[in-house]
Structure 1
Amino acid sequence: MAHSVEPSSSLSFTSSSRLSNGSVSHNVCASHCPDLGPNLEAISLSKLSSNLEQLLDDSDCDYSDADIIVEGTPVVVHRCILASRSKFFHELFKREKGPQEKEGKLKYLMSDFLPYGKVGYEAFLIFLRYVYTGKLKPSPMEVSTCVDNVCAHDACRPAINFAVELMYASSIFQMPDLVLLFQRRLLNFVGKAFVEDVIPILIVAFHCQLSQLVTECIERVARSDLDYVSIDKEIPPELSEKIKLLRHSAQHDVEDNASLVDPLHQKRITRIHKALDSDDVELVKLLLSESDITLDEANALHYAAAYCDPKLFSEVLNLGLTNVNLRNSRGYTVLHIAAMRKEPSIIVSLLKKGALASELTLHGQSAVSISRRLTRPKDYHAKTEQGKETNKDRMCIDLLEREMLRNPMSGDASMSFQITGDDLQRKLQYLENRVALAILFFPAEAKVAMDIAEAETKGSGGNFREVDLNETPIMQNKRLVSKVEALMKTVETGRRYFPHCSEVLDKFMEDELPDLCYLEKGSQEEQRMKTTRYMELKDNVQKAFNKDKANFCHSGISPSSSSSSLNNNLVHGKARKV
């Protein structure tokens, strides 16, 4: 009797053959069909890869047994898969269980895995998908490109940083195949990138013990014009010494020794830099008085803009002993360095002192193009919740773009005025309320304006109107005038560099703000009228802001995302006095 063969799919892993005893032998198709075997294996692996990928993508099939918290966001994982693919996770799960969560899952923090470097959320997802599927997905554009429209994104800082994060993950989690892949990718960056962007590649190569990549980076830095100060500050000592030795050997046979630095001269410059590191402006002044070295010769502003606290930078700038548009040996102005640092308060300080945003580097970059080339679309387009700080990357770009478009202003606006008595008190109250509103609506922008104006951190902190019995009327008036001047300076700085925020504040301050702050007081009719008027005011302010935003977009500028909405808590009858 013939044995019937069960229907099968078009691709089967077995074939049937009749033996002498009449039975059917089921042999692996690959052994009888050598041409089909590799294809079946590839198809099987592809199906397995797709099935495992569903574990990451299908929320209805959540069989995960652990979470790894990356940048505050939990990422679900399956320990059996990670342990089978990574020796690191195999050893980790074998020796420790991890903190238990309410739902029974184990919880791990990414930061606990990293002895150095950083692995962001998007980079870990790319790595995790490779662990599950064996396939490397393209890098997400929002985190691996910059917002510079003319950049090819083949060697900008976000592209490099994302590859560096993936290299860290591949090395720490012991995935050698991925390490080799990203080493090739980073080698491709070395020859294209600006030398300052090679430094993160050199550091990851050093920590991951990638000798070929380390050698390539060292040679690239040694051939560049990167100054020794930056080399010492940003590169591990054992690597910086190799760079210096390589440079010295390359320059040993150079006949022209005129460029050699005088040791005593360099020693005095180093002392100034160390004084800056110590936040000691008085020591800087003393060192200047004891030698003929100037702050410009020491590139003190460049150094402070790159490595020092913003408040110290302001103190050095306010000495008035430097040229704010001075170029260093690499052709960078202080504003270029500030754009690399991405610190809004330093940028505003320089602009107020006359720094030119239109100055270009030797590579043809302005400060705003430098800032754009360092900023990821994810950060630039991120929406900031009301009352939370604006992303500094976006703020730097906005500041520099506005400065490029606005009409130049000659010097600082004069803050001097002659007011006394009740006028002074009213002026103080108005300014305190306005600055307090700025802190409420636009905290990041307000902080920058206050830092530049050397105002109190809390804007209206302390009661400057209370009477000290040991203080004469003249002293009290002088103290109040000083406070008013600081607040006026804060407001003027905000109007100059954050015009759309200032427009919103002006709308609030110009209307019946004191009355509207007490929506719950008065008769029911009065409360109803106040609430209606408050809603009208808020609507008018929002329309004004949208109009301002449209004007910025029309000119190629988008206002700060933190200014996109008003404080909704004030709308629901709970407005409070500032």
Structure 2
Amino acid sequence: MANTGEPSSSLSFTSSSIVSNGSSAPAGANLEIVSLSRLSRDLERLLIDSELDCSDADVVAADGNPVGVHRFILAARSPFFLELFARGACAEGRPRYELRELVQPGKVGREAFLAFLSYLYTGKLRPAPVDVSTCVDDMCAHDSCRPAINFAVELMYASSVFQIPELVSLFQRRLNNFVDKALVEDVMPILMVAFHSKRDQLLAHCIQRVARSDMHDTYLEKGVPPEVVDEIKLARKKSKPDESESLALDPIQEKRIRRIHRALDSDDVELVKLLLSESEITLDDAYALHYAAAYCDSKIVSEVLDLGLADVNLKDGRGYTPLHMAAMRMEPAVIVSLLSKGASASDTTEDGRSAVSICRRLTRAKDYNTKTEQGQEANKDRICIDILEREIMRNPLAAESVTSPLLADCLHMKLLYLENRVAFARLFFPAEAKVAMKIAHAESTTEFAGLSTSRSSGNLREVDLNETPVMRDKRLRSRVDALMKTVELGQRYFPNCSKVLDKFMEDDLPDLFYLQKGTLDEQKIKRMRFCELKDDVHRAFNEDRAVSRRSGLSSSSSSSSSIKGDLKQQKAVRK
């Protein structure tokens, strides 16, 4: 059978009498092809057609939803299920099995289990669903991101535990291809499934990959079996003996650092303070905040931050800040604690990844795009991304240290925020905005239609093929500077108006941008909020005008009628 690049080309029901090289085949072979294809299709209907629900057992996935299965098919295809079902039902009535109990110590999600079942029923391995095997990082090729790796890892666990050797071989090859392309953090799930599945060749490849990396022993010891850690250390000594010795910590200092980490593991910040007082070592020496952000409860992270003894933006030996560690952990409470103490959301790792890009590369498209129903717990991955993106928008000039090509992306994001803010200022307070823009020379720079493109991909203008990256960055910076000065002037001379804009940009912009979108109830709520917004605009305008009069300054030339007219214009634009 020709290799088409898809697993289903080699993993399907076949017969030695079938001819697949394009030559003519006997009638019996053609009949066998048709019958096997029909059998595969009919068995697949048992999984996907609700009208054919004649399943006789349930396997409960990690999300708590049961998957109906047919024991006679699973028993015929898998020695594991044959033995399991031979022991009889675990309780009276319809047999029910927990997937997390069947696949230990690994984890198999609902989507991966359904893909595995599809192969058992049909003999064909379908392509991985896009929404569970791709991340939401627009810059990612999705050939080695965490969702792609996790989906293959889950199928490897299922194939190994349920004893399907042809799938084990397939996914061992697939995971082996991931090892050299993926980030070292993303290699860890592959290493663990290789260890538990006793795939020695895959495990050895992972060990060599980790040994070549700069991942610290502390983090290896937290997530890797001791015997594997020892093999990684041995591989490092063999490959770079001199470097390993030079990087080794002083035994006394290493002992003190480990004591601090153990105190953090025990949630004992008072002991941490005692250990610091008894030696010259500092929290930064021990990278204690990095450790807490990666492994400790959010309450402990807050307590460590409250000590005021750790640099919240300190980079460790790998170029990671505590916020980068929290982003890899995907814990919203820890991220918020760090941001509230001054952590920079725009700091990047040595390979150019920010905290939000780390989160995006770890998040499945399904988890990010699934709408959360009222009363339903929101997805933590989506929350982390929203928090970090909001922080960047709130501090649009915080990413000055980012270098090209990431610089352009950061400037685009700042421009989206500033252009939209100034555009709404011109709608709410036209005269005031015009004065501020004139003083800041914002009107003399390259214009960008913020409102009309705020939901687009962020292209600032037609591409100039003669523009170099340096020229582009200079142009973007010039526009950012002019708009930022406009905002600062508005905040200084029209503080109440600026507060209304700040609140609108932070809370209302995504919802009020299109009044006609959503259900009837949602549209009603948006219109009510829009009416409240008009009142806020009038109130802020009158307050600033009153302050101006009391200060002996000339009042704004804007009239209430012009405000009403512009608000009508704004409403028309949004519709």
Give TM class, smaller chain.
Answer: 0.5 to 0.7
Residue 542 to residue 284, structure 1, CA distance change in 2 (3 Å): farther
Q: 1:194 to 1:545 in 2, by over 3 A?
A: farther
CA deviation map 1:24-65 (0-9, x unaligned) = xxxx999xx974554443333222211211222222222222
Residue 399 of structure 1: which of 382, 387, 397 is its match? 387
Q: Which residue of 2 aligns with 1:500?
A: 507
- Kept after mapping to 1: 8 A contact 2:18/2:30: no
Taking a change above 3 Å as real, the CA distance of residues 536 and 268 of structure 1, as seen in their structure-2 partners, is: closer
1:235 is aligned to 224
Tell me the alpha carbon deviations over residues 117-155 of structure 1, each in whole angstroms, 9 at most, x when there is no partner. 111111111000000110000111111111111111111
Match of residue 333, structure 1, among 321, 341, 347: 321
Residue 69 (structure 1) shift: 1.6
> 2-side partners of 1:537 and 1:51: how far apart?
44
Query: In the alignment, what sits opposite 2:252?
Result: 264
Partners of 2:161 and 2:531 lie apart in 1 by 47
Q: Contact 1:100–1:107 at 8 Å: present in 2 too?
A: no
Richer in helix (by share): 2
Instruction: Find the counterpart in structure 2 of residue 569 from structure 1.
Output: none
Match of 1:52 among 31, 43, 47: 43
1:379 shift after superposition: 1.1
Of 64, 69, 78, 2:70 maps to 78
| Residues 508-545 of structure 1, C-alpha deviations (whole Å, 9 max, x = no match) | xxxxxxxxxxxxxxxxxxxxxxxxxxx99993457649
CA contact (8 A) 1:275 1:281 kept: yes
Name the SS for the 1:76 alignment partner.
Answer: strand
What does residue range 150-169 of structure 1 map to in structure 2 within 5 Å? 150-169=139-158
Amino acid at match of 1:365: R
CA shift, 1:110, in A, is 1.5
Instruction: Show the counterpart of 2:443.
Output: none
Aligned to 1:414: none
1:500 offset after TM fit, Å?
A: 2.9
In the TM superposition, 1:376-387 aligns within 5 A as 376-387=364-375
Structure-1 separation of matches of 2:247 and 2:131 = 44
Q: Which residue of 2 aligns with 1:447?
A: none
User: Do structure 1's residue 539 and structure 2's residue 529 form an aligned pair?
Assistant: no
On the 8 A contact 1:66/1:77 being kept in 2, the answer is: yes
Structure showing greater radius of gyration is 1
Residue 197 of structure 1, CA deviation:
0.6
Going from structure 1 to structure 2, the CA distance change for 1:367 and 1:542 (only over 3 Å counts) comes to farther
Question: Structure 1 residues 73 and 387, CA, compared in 2 at 3 Å: closer, same or farther?
Answer: closer
SS at match of 1:330: coil
Q: CA deviation at 1:405?
A: 1.3
Aligned match of 1:190: 179
C-alpha distance in structure 1 between counterparts of 2:64 and 2:531, whole Å:
32
Which residue does the alignment assign to 1:287?
A: 275
- 1:313 Cα deviation from its structure 2 partner: 0.6
TM-score (norm 1): 0.65
Given the superposition, is the C-alpha separation of residues 547 and 253 from structure 1 closer, same or farther in structure 2, using an over 3 Å criterion? farther
Cα gap change, 1:301 to 1:545, in 2 (>3 Å): farther
Q: Is the 8 A contact 1:379 1:393 kept in 2?
A: yes
Distance 1:392 1:543 in 2: 30
- The equivalent residue for 1:133 is 122
- 1:379 and 1:394 in contact (8 A); partners too: yes
Matched letter for residue 47 of structure 1: R
**Gap change, CA 1:279 and 1:29, over 3 Å in 2:** closer
- Give the distance between the partners of 1:309 and 1:391, measured in 2 at CA: 19
- Secondary structure in 2 matching 1:67: strand
Residue of structure 2 equivalent to 1:43: 34
Cα shift at 1:349? 1.4
Once residues 498 and 108 of structure 1 are traced to their aligned partners in structure 2, the CA distance between those partners, rounded to angstroms, is 49
Tell me which moved more, 150-159 or 73-82. Answer: 73-82
Q: Which amino acid in 2 is paired with 1:539? A: K
- 1:65 matched residue in structure 2: 56
Report if the CA contact (8 A) 1:503-1:545 is conserved: no
Give the Cα separation in 1 of the matches to 2:340 and 2:530.
25
CA distance 1:233–1:536, shift in 2 (3 Å): closer
- 1:99 touches 1:108 (CA, 8 Å); kept in 2? no
- Alignment of 1:248 onto 2:237: yes
CA offset at residue 208 of structure 1? 0.6
Q: C-alpha deviations, 1:79-124, integer Å up to 9, x for none?
A: 11111100011111111123344xxx43222223122111111111
Shift of 1:341: 1.0
Shift of 1:212: 0.6
Q: Name 1:365's counterpart in structure 2.
A: 353
TM-score by length of 2: 0.65
- Amino acid across the alignment from 2:294: A
The equivalent of 1:425 in structure 2 is none
C-alpha separation in 2, matches of 1:364 and 1:547: 43
Deviation at 1:316, TM superposition (A): 0.4
Give the secondary-structure state (helix, strand or coil) at the position aligned to 2:68: strand
Read off the aligned partner of 1:273 and give its amino acid letter: H
Q: Does structure 1 residue 180 correspond to structure 2 residue 158? A: no
Which residue of the other structure, out of 311, 317, 342, is the alignment partner of 2:305? 317
Further displaced range: 257-266 or 358-367: 257-266
Shift of 1:174: 0.8
Amino acid at match of 2:524: D
Structure 2 residue aligned with 1:522: none
User: C-alpha separation between the residues in 1 aligned to 2:50 and 2:101?
Assistant: 27
- Letter aligned with residue 80 of structure 2: F
Q: Give 2:136's aligned residue.
A: 147
What corresponds to 2:212 in structure 1? 223
Which consecutive residues of structure 1, in runs of 5 or more, have no partner in the other structure? 1-27, 411-494, 505-534, 549-578
2: CA distance, partners of 1:159 / 1:496: 39
What's the counterpart of residue 548 of structure 2?
A: none
Report sequence identity in percent. Answer: 59
* 2:113 equivalent to 1:113: no
Is the CA contact (8 Å cut-off) linking 1:500 and 1:545 kept in structure 2?
A: no
Residues 547, 269 of structure 1: CA spacing in aligned structure 2 closer, same or farther, 3 A cutoff? farther
Match of 1:564 in 2: none
1:265 to partner: Cα distance: 1.3
Give the residue type in structure 2 aligned to 1:196. Answer: E
CA contact (8 A) 1:222 1:247 kept: yes
Partner of 2:448: none
Work out the CA distance in 1 between the residues paired with 2:111 and 2:339: 36
Cα distance between partner residues in 2 of 1:248 and 1:334: 29
Decide whether the 8 Å contact of 1:325 with 1:333 is kept in 2.
yes
Structure 1 residue 286: Cα displacement: 1.1
Q: Kindly tell me: are residues 37 and 72 of structure 1, through their superposed partners in 2, closer, same or farther at Cα, counting changes over 3 Å?
A: same
In structure 1, C-alpha distance between the alignment counterparts of 2:155 and 2:258, rounded to whole Å: 37
For residues 308-346 of structure 1, the C-alpha deviation after alignment (integer angstroms, 9 at most, x for no partner) is 111001000111111111000100111111111111111
SS at match of 1:356: coil
> Contact conserved, 2:345 with 2:354, CA < 8 A, in 1?
yes
d(CA) in 2 for partners of 1:371, 1:543: 35
Return closer, same or farther for 1:85/1:329 CA change in 2, 3 Å cut-off: same
Seen in structure 2, the aligned counterparts of structure 1 residues 286 and 409 have a Cα distance that, compared at 3 Å, is farther
Code of the residue aligned with 2:360 in structure 1: it is R
Give aligned pairs, total. Answer: 402
Aligned Cα root-mean-square deviation (Å): 3.1
The residue type paired with residue 230 of structure 1 is Y
CA contact (8 A) 2:18 2:33 kept: no
> Match of 1:191, SS?
helix
Instruction: Tell me the distance in 2 between the aligned counterparts of 1:372 and 1:189.
Output: 19
> Partner residue of 1:97?
89
- Within 1, Cα distance between the matches of 2:245 and 2:207? 24
CA contact (8 A) 2:136 2:360 kept: yes
Matches of 1:537 and 1:403, distance apart in 2: 26
Q: CA deviation at 1:284?
A: 0.8
